[in-house]
Amino acid sequence: MPEDMTVGIAPVSGIEVSGGAGGFRAKGEDLVAMSALAGEVADDMIKTAVAGHKFLAEPHVLASALLNPSGVVKFEAAMALALDGPNGLTATSAAISLRGDALRATKLAYEAADELAARGLDASRWMAGLAVASAPGGVVAAGLAAGTAIAADVYANYDGDWNKWLADHPGMVDTLIGMSPGMLSSLGVPVDLATTLDLLAATYADGTAVVTSFDPLPDTGPHSLRDIMLGLDERNRPRDDGDQSNIDVRVIKDASGKVTGYVVDIPGTKDWNAPWDPKSANDTGVNVDAMAGNRTVLQQGIEKALHEAGAQGTGVPVMLVGHSQGGIVAAQSTNGLISGGYNVTHVVTAGSPVGRIDIPDNVQMLSLENKGDIVPHLDATDNPNTANRTTVTFENQTGNVGNNHSIGGYRYDENDPNKPRVDQNYVAVAKQLDEGSDPSVRRFMDSTGAFTRGSDESQLLRYRVAREGVK
């Protein structure tokens, strides 16, 4: 890990946590567990009631009626009341069984409402896009009208600073992307967002990964969420030492040298290119392909790097950590890597649009999102609120699109290299989460011991992933 010379952190505000162990879906699983327990109790009570009915016709009880008829009558009446009365075992068993059914129904109702809300939002944006494109003058007229209104706002209230306007209105990205399928559908071929991504991805040829390895470096591995973010920040920052690597695999070892885990650091986009001009394994095509659910050249590179690092088929846990594009690829790669014999157990993303990407239920995922960062809005949806997916949103408005999206690890002052700056943005929120007590975050971090308890025996392996035939 880079030497820690920070003097503090720039606190972020408005931290909100959804999903995970303390989230809505996790509570839904608790409802299911309570429902099952209620069913077991109800079954036990009804069995007891059935057994109790035998005493009503027990021969010795009936025979005693000759000696004490009034006593037997009272006994039979008391037993009947205890078994079949309004508060008896039979009625209580039925009530507990109904309570269990109600708990199951409540869980299903909550999930259905959550799903309908998400679909309803997609549908409303789709319809808005269709309505705009179908208006007199179509898309061009609507675009000119909207552009004129936005431009007026930018110059009237932001002194012409488009960057600051966009940083202050990240939600516009959700709306515009959500409307785009409806606008395209106005041409006569109905499409949804998934189909639109598929069509766009088809314009980018992904290619084959070529992986080059470099000499390993000593490492201690991360010991906190902040360390995880700092390692990703170190990987993501521009290199001026001739190092051409673009993926790190941290081989975490204990004091005896035994490998306990692998941490893969995956950086964000480096090249913005048109479909006919393929660039690096960190270009626009990888973004589009990953969001469309395709296996990308960067994913191929990760697989090859992990194979060379010795992770395949060993059962040793793997954590994928990514910023921006890196987070998209990390999430999208989980199923393929698991199928390929890699034990992916954890994913950490920062500033990544991963809400529409499915990951296995047994993979724990933590997503950090600055509410002022436009990039997490590119999928036009919220992240699923499930027991294995924890999302942390926070406020850190810098008035600049790039700064809102940056990982935020410390940088040295160009005029004074001995004066380090404080942690910011994603690194800063990681530090605050390390010191916090949120149950979902705590449960996630408590499960990362294979990656956060490394020793000086650990190693940093560096790899360069490139497209075959592209310089």
pLDDT tens for each residue of 433-452: 999 999 999 999 999 999 99
Phi and psi torsions of 301, nearest 5°: -65, -40
Distance CA 218, CA 232 (A): 16
pLDDT tens for each residue of 301-329: 999 999 999 999 999 999 999 999 999 99
Range from 55-59, 337-341, 454-458 carrying the lowest mean pLDDT = 55-59
Q: Which amino acid is at 346?
A: H
pLDDT at position 236 is 85
pLDDT at position 441 is 94
pLDDT tens for each residue of 247-262: 999 999 999 999 999 9
pLDDT at position 201 is 84
pLDDT at position 281 is 86
pLDDT at position 19 is 86
What integer is the mean pLDDT of 120-127?
57
Q: Which two tokens stand for residue 47?
A: 């069995």
What integer is the mean pLDDT of 286-305?
92
pLDDT interval class at 344 (50, 70, 90): very high
Report the alpha-carbon angle 241-318-424, nearest 5: 55
pLDDT tens for each residue of 13-33: 899 998 887 665 545 555 556
pLDDT interval class at 86 (50, 70, 90): low
Of the candidates 118, 279, 269, the residue with the CA atom closest to the CA atom of residue 193: 118
What integer is the mean pLDDT of 223-227?
95
pLDDT tens for each residue of 163-193: 776 777 676 666 667 666 666 666 666 667 7
pLDDT tens for each residue of 392-417: 999 998 888 888 899 987 655 556 65
pTM over 0.85: no
Mean per-residue pLDDT over the chain, rounded: 78
27 vs 2, which has greater pLDDT? 27
pLDDT at position 397 is 86
What integer is the mean pLDDT of 156-160?
70
What integer is the mean pLDDT of 131-150?
60
**Which residues fall within 8 angstroms of residue 377, CB to CB, at 6 or more apart?**
170, 171, 173, 174, 177, 353
Range from 95-109, 289-303, 430-444 carrying the lowest mean pLDDT = 95-109
Helix (H) or strand (E) holding 444: helix 439-446
Inform me whether the pLDDT recorded for 1 exceeds 50. no
Distance CA 65, CA 75 (A): 10
DSSP string over 49-108: HHHHHGGGG-HHHHHGGGT-HHHHHHHHHHHHHHHHSTTSHHHHHHHHHHHHHHHHHHHH
130 near 185, Cβ under 8 Å? yes
